[in-house]
Structure 1
Amino acid sequence: MTRPDIPLPEPASPVPGPARRPRGRAYFVPKQRSKLRRWITATSQKTGRLLGRLLFDAEGRPRALLRSLLFDAYQRPRPGMEGIVFKEPGRPRRSFAAWLEQADANLPPLVADLPFPAPPTDGRRRVFVVAERGVAMAPPLIARLARDHAVAVLLLDGEAGGELPAPVVPVDVAGAPASRAVLLDALALRAADDRPLFAVTLGLGAADAADAMEQRNIPVVAVVDPADAEASRNGAAGLVLERVLERASAIVFPSSAAREAALVAMPRFAARRRMLAIEAPRDAGAEKVAAIGREIGEEVDNELAIILATRSERLELLTIPRYDDPPGEVGAEQKLEERITMWRRMTLLKRRLNRQLVLRPYSGFHPLIYAEHHPVACFDQRRYPLSHWIASGMPPGPWAVPVVGPLQAPAASRLKVGLHSHFFYPDLLPEMLDRIRVNASRPDLFLTTDTPAKAGELRAMTADYPAAVRIDVVPNLGRDVGPFLTGLRDVLTEGGYDVFFHVHGKKTKGRRRAIGDPWRTFLWENLIGGGHPMLDTVLAHLEAHSDVGLVYPEDSHLVNWARNDRIVEQLRADLALTEPPGTYVDFPVGNMFAIRPAAMAGYLGLDLGWEDYPAEPIPDDGTLMHGLERLLPMAVRKEGFLTAAVRVPGVDWD
């Protein structure tokens, strides 16, 4: 269904004076699990692991009995078993995910004996024409396509019935050992090997072939025959037409009347792009069909070219190796093309954005926020958000933020700077001090921890630090947020500092340590320094741009509000925030940043006390601290300041 683009809100004028929450109001704390609930969870997990060993082998493959019950010979779920295999359409449950990734390996043998023509060597792109039983009246269309492209006809259960101006690949669907759906998927997979420009399907009898082609990122022009148009007014044919309208890149009706009749029957497609009426599309209208085919076929190439031609250095994020990269060297251009085609496939299938898609492709741009504001282009028309944004003139909005790169050499700032760091783990302080030494600036240090013994350790390690050092012992409440907003409220409100850095000694224990340590390294490398003087870099940007109130490391991971709706609703009311929240949010992930105290007037106006923070142990999400972390950029903008991101090329934490 087509939705209107979401208009940007009018910029809000700064509200004089800090926000204040109602006295006596307690902030929401997610309910902790009871001992019984924790026992039930632990027991169920243990039982699940035991069952997993019984049902799956050491390589994660379902054992023979489970395979025979749930799947056919081609790893497709048997009828009625989809709910056991898939969490949602097209998204396997975790236990089946790795095994189903190999399902395509079963497909090539099904079509290995088909007489596909050799790949074209004259520079022309392949175009497939798909028809069922026959290609009556189609030779003029095929001849027109063959003037510019290397055409091959995939004929399902039929005979050509005469000479055609293109090679024919006969496909025996009825006699195949696999189901029609599996065979067509195998056919589309084989067709994709030729990297065709587009495909044309003739008649609604080939509608499922159009679906299979589109799912393999082959754009399709679906031609509806007059008889199909008449039959589709009701019954099963109407459902087939609806499927084509949902999936095909373009659909061609044989007359305006047929097109209007379809819209009357299915009005939700009224604004659908490329729903055309072409008289005699197989004959006199062949030129128009060829033109629309070229248009849809060149979309991915055009989107790729638009991005590569515009500040391609910002694609540096794509050059960072990822754990799920295929073997061999994978360049930014290849990854970008994969992102574009995956976006098109996911929006085609109306699936949730998966993990690969929620990685930032281009520094300074948030594709999901942009797509949410431009749903017609990015969801209904399947345009890749980044290319659409560039083609639209890179308009400003909540999806774009300036990004600061490293200074070439250290340069001391003239600003008065404080740096707060909370150390639950004092052993991390030497690393932070080493990173500060990379810079020419020496901020005053404000260190907090939770015991006198730890404070003594911090004091000994900073004995020779060449600037002021204040060390406070604070309650073990509010993680790093409480020590900053409550423990240092006096410093933040006195007006003695132009900028405050807020960092913390992030570390995770046990099995999650593989996340915590790289994450801390990433944040400190970007905000303080290591390979580059990043503290100096941030200060230079703030000194040159008095309207910027917040700078934070740009994270490649893009997230939503998660389980923070309740606490965010409370905080938005207390902070008098009117900026629409949207589904996705760009914020200092990990809660480390540099900020002007004036830009956090709203937070300081909350006058948070130690009693406002939940007692440890706290839930993983949904607390006061998580809400404050996500709302910080919005609160800064409310005070009349802008935000910026900082990024060291080649650095990430995944």
Structure 2
Amino acid sequence: MTTTPEQPVAGGVSPRRRYFEPKRRSKLRRWITGTSQKTGRSVGRLLFDTEGRPRPWLRTLLFDAYQRPRPGLEGVVFKEPGRPRRPFADWLSHADDTLAPLVAHLPFPSPDEGGRRAVLVVVAGDAAPVEGLVRTLEPEHSVILLRLDGRTESVAGAVLVSIDVAASRAPRPVLLDALARRAAACRPLFAVTVGLDVADAADLLEQRNVPVVTLAGSPESYAGRHEALERVLDRAGAVAFPSEVARSAALALLPRFAGRRRLVVASAPEEVAAIGREIGAELDNELALVLATGPERLEMLAIVREDDPPGEIDIPARLATLIANWRRKALLRRHPNRPPLRRPFSGFHPLIYAEHHPVACFDGRRYPLSHWIERGRPEGPWTMPVIGPPAAPVASGLRTALHGHFFYTDLLPELLQRLSANASRPDLFLTTDTAAKVEELRAMTADYPARVRIDIVPNIGRDVGPFLTALRDALTGGGYDVFLHVHGKKTKGRRRAIGDPWRNFLWENLIGGEHAMLDAVLAHMAAHPGVGLVFPEDTHLLDWARNARVAEELRRDMGLTEPMGTYVDFPVGNMFAVRPAALAPVLALGLDWQDYPAEPIPDDGTVMHGLERLLPMVVRKAGLGVAAVRVPGTDWD
């Protein structure tokens, strides 16, 4: 049955503003922005060639022969340490290619030569102090003795690799980084660096994810080596002191490291080898732990991305890279979500977990997913249950309605087609902005086998106003157990290319197509009365962006006390299934049309964007939980 459409609200939008609205750019500002962008593109063609490489004169001006910024010019090249500005990003991603020729002639052994994991021992000077360590390691490991002084005297049981770093024409940091890169290719279990003279080598090995035990030497060697001592205490996986006196002397000079782990007293070779094996096994253990736990929930790692190399994706290799990259970011204290991370494991948010476990995940460089699994997968805001495809369509006994806001009416047939994959037939509450569109929607739903209500609403509040304001009577009337909320999403402007993929992803997961996902969602909510909200699980890991101010205002008015944190898991795209009771805090706001900003609205920072991110918190405020729904292999960007 199709009802008569309601009339639009008269009077337009009043000047009343309850919530923050981002300032709109003036025509002058838009003109300035457009002009500067055009100018920037023109200048860019002068500075960079068609393959995105800086032109020769610009490379000579900004970089040395090894694609490293010249001293004092880092700020031109990098937005922050280790994060190149966009024009340089792709070109600098190949900077390692300049390192290989520097050390190509050195006789490093092949990985796992002889079936044994390698151990790297780095010295600059007399190698006699490591003879006992090599004898201890040699029965179980292939030992590589890397001499940085150019001497050719080896140690029995070790493969000698010698280079005179001081005599090289390449700058010491460049050459040591080349050595660290080449050494890492041998997949050593760990490395031992001897003395503070090679503190910089220890640092660069750790940056290449080679765990390092530094033998710190006697307290007398610390004099005048404050910077080197600080570097190993900060970066090395473990620091071994010959005595408690030496350990105390180091911490007296640098007391801020007193709480860090693995500052050990280990003078015997057996003790050094044991601590090396312990730190060396960490990455392998983390990888094995994750691969052994719910491997089917790693399916999102197999999704092909635009910059992936050709060929089949190796999930263990990709996961190992994620773990290694996390450890490197934590070591260098870089922003954990730059460049942006993806969710690695369905039902788990690594950044929220890391924020709640900073000592382990940032100070200890533990990968959040493996640490969570190791601790028994504790519940918290970092995890939620995930609903997968059902075995077959099964109609739900829940009283269900589906709200769809269609500014673009041509998308309704797609939604109806997706609904047909399910056995459930929810009542439809459709909203649009003109009488002509109402007639189009009425014609499309003439044969729909359940109730249909079509309302005219102002073109304001995007999809949020039509749901929370126009349908407040239906949401509060007690006639439905579950309401689904979707909209005919098309993205315009500079991001128009993501509109269709984003909508397809959301509808495929929440409504269905290949699978009866609406039936699956309703079955889960029927079996779990404590679940108040279900939404598609997005692989993107997001923060509050420009919504912090409006979110704080909304939190105040809804009485939300749950901490916001830096990151938030929410229905990205604002499509979900919800129990009306779970919306009690937001419905109590009594949002009216005057509370939504007029079109055109900013990309972020409005009351609609704030409510989208706050929705899981609202549901928890109402005493209910959240769950995710996911069709394996789906994504949108």
Give the TM-score, by structure 2 length. 0.96
SS at structure 2 position matched to 1:28: coil
Of 261, 280, 289, the residue aligned with 1:273 is 261
In structure 1, the partner of 2:5 is none
In structure 1, the partner of 2:222 is 232
Q: 1:171 to 1:58 in 2, by over 3 A?
A: same
Deviation readout 1:299-330 (Å, 9 max, x if unpaired): 11101111111111111111111112233222
Alignment map for 1:530-569 (pairs within 5 Å): 530-569=513-552
Of 244, 264, 268, the residue aligned with 2:232 is 244
Of 421, 428, 434, the residue aligned with 1:445 is 428
Alignment map for 1:165-564 (pairs within 5 Å): 165-226=157-218, 229-232=219-222, 235=224, 237-279=225-267, 285-354=268-337, 358-564=341-547
Q: How much has 1:340 moved relative to structure 2?
A: 0.6
In structure 1, the partner of 2:3 is none
In structure 1, the partner of 2:613 is 630
Q: How much has 1:133 moved relative to structure 2?
A: 2.7
- Is the 2:17–2:594 contact (alpha carbons within 8 Å) kept by the matching residues of 1? no
What code does the residue aligned with 1:258 have? A
In structure 2, the partner of 1:31 is 23
Alpha-carbon separation, structure 1, partners of 2:262 and 2:476: 59
Alpha-carbon separation, structure 1, partners of 2:177 and 2:69: 14
2:115 matches 1:110: no
Alpha-carbon separation, structure 2, partners of 1:375 and 1:432: 43
- Is the 2:481–2:579 contact (alpha carbons within 8 Å) kept by the matching residues of 1? yes
Q: How much has 1:78 moved relative to structure 2?
A: 1.0
Alpha-carbon separation, structure 2, partners of 1:330 and 1:200: 34
Alpha-carbon separation, structure 2, partners of 1:633 and 1:354: 22
SS at structure 2 position matched to 1:486: helix
What code does the residue aligned with 2:69 have? P
Alpha-carbon separation, structure 1, partners of 2:504 and 2:245: 64
Alpha-carbon separation, structure 2, partners of 1:163 and 1:452: 88
What code does the residue aligned with 1:219 have? P
Alpha-carbon separation, structure 2, partners of 1:158 and 1:626: 62
- Is the 1:231–1:238 contact (alpha carbons within 8 Å) kept by the matching residues of 2? no
Alpha-carbon separation, structure 1, partners of 2:444 and 2:255: 71
Alpha-carbon separation, structure 1, partners of 2:520 and 2:364: 41
In structure 2, the partner of 1:157 is 149
- Is the 2:17–2:595 contact (alpha carbons within 8 Å) kept by the matching residues of 1? no
Deviation readout 1:2-44 (Å, 9 max, x if unpaired): xxxxxxxxxxxxxxxxxxxxxx871110111122221221121
2:73 matches 1:81: yes
- Is the 1:358–1:559 contact (alpha carbons within 8 Å) kept by the matching residues of 2? no
Of 116, 123, 127, the residue aligned with 1:131 is 123
Q: 1:308 to 1:162 in 2, by over 3 A?
A: closer
Q: How much has 1:358 moved relative to structure 2?
A: 2.0
What code does the residue aligned with 1:64 have? P
Q: How much has 1:221 moved relative to structure 2?
A: 0.8
- Is the 2:570–2:613 contact (alpha carbons within 8 Å) kept by the matching residues of 1? yes
- Is the 2:433–2:457 contact (alpha carbons within 8 Å) kept by the matching residues of 1? yes
Q: How much has 1:647 moved relative to structure 2?
A: 0.5
Deviation readout 1:626-649 (Å, 9 max, x if unpaired): 100001001101111011110111
- Is the 1:441–1:535 contact (alpha carbons within 8 Å) kept by the matching residues of 2? yes
In structure 2, the partner of 1:646 is 629
Alpha-carbon separation, structure 1, partners of 2:489 and 2:222: 61
SS at structure 1 position matched to 2:545: coil
- Is the 2:583–2:618 contact (alpha carbons within 8 Å) kept by the matching residues of 1? yes
- Is the 1:133–1:158 contact (alpha carbons within 8 Å) kept by the matching residues of 2? no
SS at structure 1 position matched to 2:114: coil
Q: RMSD between aligned alpha carbons?
A: 1.4
In structure 2, the partner of 1:593 is 576
Moved more, 117-126 or 31-40: 117-126
Moved more, 177-186 or 380-389: 177-186
- Is the 2:145–2:154 contact (alpha carbons within 8 Å) kept by the matching residues of 1? no
SS at structure 2 position matched to 1:298: helix
Q: 1:304 to 1:356 in 2, by over 3 A?
A: farther
Moved more, 320-329 or 450-459: 320-329
Alpha-carbon separation, structure 2, partners of 1:202 and 1:343: 27
What code does the residue aligned with 2:625 have? L
Q: How much has 1:175 moved relative to structure 2?
A: 2.4
Moved more, 482-491 or 259-268: 259-268
Unpaired runs of 5+ residues, structure 1, are 1-23, 280-284
Q: How much has 1:174 moved relative to structure 2?
A: 2.1
Alpha-carbon separation, structure 1, partners of 2:590 and 2:266: 67
SS at structure 2 position matched to 1:58: coil
In structure 2, the partner of 1:122 is 114
Alpha-carbon separation, structure 2, partners of 1:179 and 1:114: 18
- Is the 1:134–1:159 contact (alpha carbons within 8 Å) kept by the matching residues of 2? no
SS at structure 1 position matched to 2:617: helix
2:59 matches 1:67: yes
Q: 1:43 to 1:438 in 2, by over 3 A?
A: same
Deviation readout 1:154-197 (Å, 9 max, x if unpaired): 10024254643312111121222311111111111111111111
Q: How much has 1:256 moved relative to structure 2?
A: 1.3
2:599 matches 1:616: yes
Alpha-carbon separation, structure 2, partners of 1:158 and 1:140: 22
In structure 1, the partner of 2:562 is 579
Q: 1:162 to 1:533 in 2, by over 3 A?
A: closer
Q: How much has 1:356 moved relative to structure 2?
A: 5.8
- Is the 2:401–2:426 contact (alpha carbons within 8 Å) kept by the matching residues of 1? yes
What code does the residue aligned with 1:361 have? P
SS at structure 1 position matched to 2:135: helix
- Is the 2:191–2:210 contact (alpha carbons within 8 Å) kept by the matching residues of 1? yes
Alpha-carbon separation, structure 2, partners of 1:91 and 1:355: 8
Alpha-carbon separation, structure 2, partners of 1:385 and 1:163: 40
Alpha-carbon separation, structure 1, partners of 2:124 and 2:335: 33
User: How many equivalent residue pairs?
Assistant: 622
Moved more, 445-454 or 496-505: 445-454
Q: 1:162 to 1:33 in 2, by over 3 A?
A: closer
What code does the residue aligned with 1:256 have? E
- Is the 2:429–2:452 contact (alpha carbons within 8 Å) kept by the matching residues of 1? yes
Unpaired runs of 5+ residues, structure 2, are 1-15
Q: How much has 1:142 moved relative to structure 2?
A: 1.7
Alpha-carbon separation, structure 1, partners of 2:457 and 2:448: 22
- Is the 1:134–1:155 contact (alpha carbons within 8 Å) kept by the matching residues of 2? no
What code does the residue aligned with 2:117 have? R
- Is the 1:134–1:160 contact (alpha carbons within 8 Å) kept by the matching residues of 2? no
Moved more, 573-582 or 24-33: 24-33
Alpha-carbon separation, structure 1, partners of 2:403 and 2:317: 42
Give the TM-score, by structure 1 length. 0.93
- Is the 1:419–1:501 contact (alpha carbons within 8 Å) kept by the matching residues of 2? yes
2:28 matches 1:45: no
Moved more, 122-131 or 511-520: 511-520
- Is the 1:263–1:270 contact (alpha carbons within 8 Å) kept by the matching residues of 2? yes
Q: 1:230 to 1:54 in 2, by over 3 A?
A: same
SS at structure 1 position matched to 2:115: coil
